[in-house]
Amino acid sequence: MNLKEASPGVKVFVKKIALAIGVDGDIRGQLEDIGFLPGEQVEVLRKGFWGRGPIMVRVGSSTFALRESEAQMIEVEPL
């Protein structure tokens, strides 16, 4: 499952960041720099209108909005 598929209010663990075809490798580094590391707990706080658009997540004590394409790259598993 990826982070885009997780429902709001659900806490998950990061398994890995999988790059999509044609995506710049710098994106992986940026996601890791802000805390999306294997084993890290993430909570989906909110999704855009009708479940589309930016996804608001909490990693540790920080809150971020991710694009759908970024959230799809983050593979997660339920607690």
Q: Give the type of residue at 29.
A: G
pLDDT tens-digit readout, 16-69: 998 766 666 788 889 999 999 999 999 999 998 776 789 999 998 999 999 998
Report the C-alpha gap between 78 and 27 in whole angstroms: 24
Residue 79: the pLDDT is 85
Residue 50: the pLDDT is 73
Confidence band for 10, pLDDT divided at 50, 70 and 90: very high
Is pLDDT of 72 > 80? yes
Q: What pTM value is reported for the model? A: 0.87
Q: Give the type of residue at 45.
A: L
Q: Give the type of residue at 20.
A: A
Instruction: Name the class of domain 3-78.
Output: mainly beta
